[in-house]
Structure 1
């Protein structure tokens, strides 16, 4: 049970990060984050 909950938390965390990273290009297309990038995955 503990292993499953920890795994689900990691998966949830991964999904949140994936959703955030996937939302950035759409914002850049709108020009909202063109000059001000919030997330740079390569540096993290």
Structure 2
């Protein structure tokens, strides 16, 4: 087990975990909520909303 841990860089583990979590968020439709909130903030900034 120690040899395997030495061969796999920690940043690669973090990168794979991040990709999995992003894919799960997209599959659940969470990106739509984020996009809607970002659009509202932009509209408030320029004074439309």
TM-score, scaled to structure 1: 0.49
Structure of greater relative contact order (alpha carbons < 8 Å, 6+ residues apart):
1
Higher alpha-carbon Rg:
2
